[in-house]
Structure formats: structure tokens, C-alpha cells
Amino acid sequence: MSGTATVASGYVFDPSWESEHSRLCSLEEIYDGQTRHRLTELGITEGQRCLEVGCGAGSVARWLARQVGAAGQVLAVDVDTRFAGSHTLDNLEVRRHDIVTDDLPEASFDLVHARAVLEHLPDRDEALRRMVAATRPGGWVVVEDFDIDGPMYPAAARYYPPGFTEVAERLGRALRAAFTGAGVDIGTGRALARELADAGLTDIGAEIHAPVLTGGTAAFFPLTLRSLRPRLLATGEVTDADIETVIDLTKSHGTTYVPTFMVLAWGRKAP
């Protein structure tokens, strides 16, 4: 999800930052595989209508448009569409839209998907309610969000090379403090399945994706740390040297690390 200065507290990334498009694209490189697999398993086919909420750099929306074909349609929305608007797909509409306040057609989409969106919204319940309302009977709602709360980041830190666990744990504390201070729900991922059930959906399922990355193969985490550097330093949990140590590690070939845990959950609207 991309944002602007007018977005309510919770979205911590600046879309005007010179490397923000690259950061979003690198997020897609890591997490799109899990997303595509689950959406395929749920039966995305030609002729369907799909809604992509918080479309970011647009890769999932473009993939969906190719899956549903000329007879289908994809609506991709975000409060800031600067990174998703350029495409040549006739069945894909990219629209500036706030999921919490702007209207959507009710019972209109076979699939509604959002990734790394709900965690940033102060009114998460209303956003999910609107997503469910926009889903046709028998359609699917699929949501993905991170979980860095409680023991989750210390668990991820165990996947860093020997000698780096302590700095990784300090970084985890800084991330939790920075996100929480901005209004992000850092445990949103853990609650997704329950919230889908509470919203009245059935056939609920969920899974955790924890990619073990090799140094030098993915830019998402180092770019995220660079973007968040002032917020991280302001927590007092890490130094600039700590941040640079982890960035250098993520660029070092032959090392491995886990950035964060992403939870993917899905539910079906009763026919």
C-alpha cells in the first residue's frame, strides 16, 4: 500500500522517497509467489471481477488482470496510485480511493484482496467490513499482513547468522516501537483469521510465510530500513551502526536471514 501525507496515522512509508517504488517492487518479488499460489488455489478464472485494495506498485493487480482475461475485470485502488497507473491492460482500472471512506459497489467482486493494508489503518474493522460488503455471495476475501508482535521478531532473529542475533533483536524492538508509535497494529497478521470469521465469512484458512532470504538477493528489507531510519533511531533501541550492520548483512552473499513473518488469510462469503 502506498500513501500520501494526508493518510491517517499508521502508514509510515513516504511515497515521495526516491527509492519507494523500488522498495515496493522488491516486496512484490518476495511475497507475490505466496499470493499467486493462494489465489490460484481459490479458483481465480477467466471472466471474474476482482478488487485489489492498496495496490502499491501494482504487480498483483496486473497478474489478476491476466488471469481473468478480456471477459473479466480488475479494479485496483489505493490512496496514492503513482506507482500502479502505468499499464497497457484494457481490463485493469487503477483508481485513487480510500477504503475506509470511499464507496464501493456492493456484492460485485468474485475476489477482494489486500496485502499490508489493514495493519496501517486506524479503522481496520470498517475497512474489512467494506471489503466484505463489496464481495459477491460465494466470493473470496483474501488479506495479508505482517506479524512482528510478541515473540515473532525474536523468532525471526534466530535465522540470522551466529553473532548477529542480538543486533537483530534490537532492530526488532525498534521496528515494533516505531510502528506502534505511528499507529500500526504490529500483530494484525495473527488476528486475520479470527477477524474474517467475525466478519461472517466461512471456509476460513490461514498460513504464515517466513521467507529465508540469501544475502544480496532481495532489496526489500535494506530499503525498508533505509526508509525507516529516522523513526528507528528515534526509538532509542538501535544506533545508526546497528542499522548499517543489518543492511550490510542483507547484502552479503552467502548469509541468510528472515525479514518478517507475513500471514495470509482467506474466507468465503456465504452464497
* Alpha carbons 1 and 79: distance in angstroms, whole number: 8
Q: How far is CA 70 from CA 18, 41, 107, 140, in A?
A: 35, 21, 21, 21
Distance between alpha carbon 123 and the CA centroid of its chain, in Å? 17
The radius of gyration computed from the CA coordinates of the chain, to the nearest angstrom, equals 18
* Alpha carbons 181 and 147: distance in angstroms, whole number: 16
> Which residue shows C-alpha cell 500513501?
3
Which domains does the chain possess?
A: 20-268 (3.40.50.150)
pLDDT tens sequence for the chain (271 residues): 433 334 444 689 999 999 999 999 999 999 999 999 999 999 999 999 999 999 999 999 999 999 999 999 999 999 999 999 889 999 999 999 999 999 999 999 999 999 999 999 999 999 999 999 999 999 999 999 999 999 999 999 999 999 999 999 999 999 999 999 999 999 999 999 999 999 999 999 999 999 999 999 999 999 999 999 999 999 999 999 999 999 999 999 889 999 999 999 999 999 9
Read off the amino acid at residue 38. Answer: R
What are the residues facing 50 on neighbouring strands?
74, 111
